[in-house]
Amino acid sequence: MAEELCFLSAHELQRGYRNRTLSPVEVTRAILAHIAEANPHVNALYLVDSDGALATARSSETRWRRNDPKGALDGIPVTLKDSIRVAGMPTGALGDEPPETTDSPVTARLREDGAVILGKTTMPDLGMIASGISSRHGVTRNPWNLERNSGGSSSGAGVAVASGFGPLAVGSDIGGSVRIPSAFCGTVGLKPSYGRVPIADPWQGLVAGPMTRSVTDTAMLLGVISRPDAADYTALPYDDRDYLEGLDSGVRGLRIGLLTDMGFGLRPEPDVRARVEAAAKLLSDLGAIVEPMAPIFDADPEPDFDRMVQAYSWPAFRALPPERQAVMLPQIAAWCREGGCLSLADLINATVGIGNTRRRVIAACAKYDFVVSPTMAVEAYAADLPWPEGGTRHNPFCFPFNLSEQPALSICCGLTTNGLPVGLQIVGQRFDDAGVLRVGRAFEAARPPLPDVPIRNVRRNRVAVAQ
């Protein structure tokens, strides 16, 4: 029973709390015990606040007994990516900082709703690679195969959700960092429309987003963390809606573009393409009108994006003490130093190029209600690599939709012949976060069931998991 508690959805936990068949304290204890047993294998959390989590769970239990919960997530366990500030916890990826004194907007909304914050999840140095390796936290491993990569940069968040370390996590995404680990770990990850979820330090393309095991849980979490906060001066006007409403409306009559070639980067591996095309066929069978799309680009737009993110990362790298710079992953350190050498002309040209990228993407998507594509062109690669052979060309499907500000959801559409998850990306028109959830839910409900993630059996078969 304790293991089953760890893999219940937030929606199931909420129902159990309401009818008093489940207890927030019982659930939190079960998940903390599972973390203690399984986290050494996957390295998803670098900080676990057991005392704080149990104290919050006890308060939640009291409220549920009075039938007076704070909100939809009262008593629901959640983990937060290291870059998201939590008062009383350090932000460990950037150095030996003292505990934070303030919460990020996301953290504040979760506390207001009564969520149980379990701890902080791992991420690569400065969040600047799509891989689960960190000079500070080591290697975060894929729970489907410990020799494979978890993806990044919300590495630990994706692994935590897949591994049963709470049904909810929050990551951040400037070029795929929510969707990539969700794709590699077989979970659901939403990159909301830019500005939908208030964040502490706004930057072009950067969002915070839900990472869960179901579309319903994603909708529940989005409804909480998208509440307004004056700290984000770029935030969209608050959309006071219940994202669960209309979730099961289906896809009949929707026009969906199938995009399997961006025009740059690696083409999808055969296994990946086959799973995505099968997913598109399933949406067609559900009544959607699915049409193949031509490639969006005739030249590689990544260098402009790369320069933008280098300019963003250089000040954070420069602020680190020399001894911390010296132990950072060499690939990231060298890349950050290049950011310090960019000229004004480089930055202007990159800004113009980013505008052109945005224009192309929005124009290509304009005649469709939604676009579906692979989330990643490749299956999860070796755990200890910063990227697979071919460099960063493995990720053409993610960052363009950050620049276009469109919502994009990654959901598992099956396993490769190697038993590794494949992510289907569902992209909506700007601001239609509810729409991508609706399409994702329709696919999820019709998709063949997925097998249990192997890490789930850690207590039953320690040897098999350790291998």
Tell me the pLDDT tens digit for each residue of 8-34: 999 999 999 999 999 999 999 999 999
Q: Is 104 considered catalytic here? A: no
pLDDT the model gives residue 148: 98
pLDDT the model gives residue 467: 40
pLDDT the model gives residue 459: 57
pLDDT tens profile 404-437 = 999 999 999 999 999 999 999 999 999 999 999 9
Q: Which of 83, 150, 172, 177 is catalytic?
A: 177
**Domain range for 353:** 2-466
pLDDT the model gives residue 393: 84
Residue 256 to residue 283: CA distance in whole angstroms = 9
Q: Where are the alpha helices (DSSP H) in 212-321?
A: 215-225, 270-285, 302-319
Q: Which of 153, 214, 313, 410 is catalytic?
A: 153
Q: Coil, strand or helix: which one is 451?
A: coil
Count up the domains in the chain and report the number.
1
Name the DSSP letter for residue 412. E
pTM of the model: 0.96
What phi and psi values does residue 441 have, to the nearest 5 degrees?
Answer: -65, -40
pLDDT the model gives residue 93: 58
Q: Is 23 considered catalytic here? A: no
Nearest residue to 6 (alpha-carbon basis) of 165, 115, 162: 165
Mean pLDDT of 213-235: 97
Question: Residues with Cβ < 8 Å from 315, sequence gap 6 or more?
Answer: none
Cα of first residue to Cα of last residue in the chain, in angstroms, is: 25
pLDDT the model gives residue 388: 85
Question: Residues with Cβ < 8 Å from 404, sequence gap 6 or more?
Answer: 357, 358, 361, 362, 365, 430
Question: Residues with Cβ < 8 Å from 424, sequence gap 6 or more?
Answer: 275, 276, 279, 372, 373, 374, 375, 410, 411, 412, 413, 443
What would the two tokens of residue 78 be?
A: 């959640």
With 0-12 / 13-18 / 19 or more C-beta atoms within 10 angstroms meaning exposed / middle / buried, residue 215 is buried
pLDDT tens profile 49-78 = 999 999 999 999 999 999 999 999 999 999
Mean residue pLDDT across the chain: 95
Mean pLDDT of 152-164: 98
Beta bridge partners of 211: 169, 189
Q: Which of 60, 81, 191, 373 is catalytic?
A: 81
- 465 confidence band (pLDDT: 50, 70, 90): very low
CATH number, domain of 59, equals: 3.90.1300.10
Residue 163 to residue 459: CA distance in whole angstroms = 12
pLDDT tens profile 263-275 = 999 999 999 999 9
What would the two tokens of residue 223 be?
A: 């409804």
Q: Is 177 considered catalytic here? A: yes
Q: How many percent of the chain have pLDDT more than 70? A: 97
Assess whether the previous peptide bond of 9 is cis (omega < 30° from 0).
no
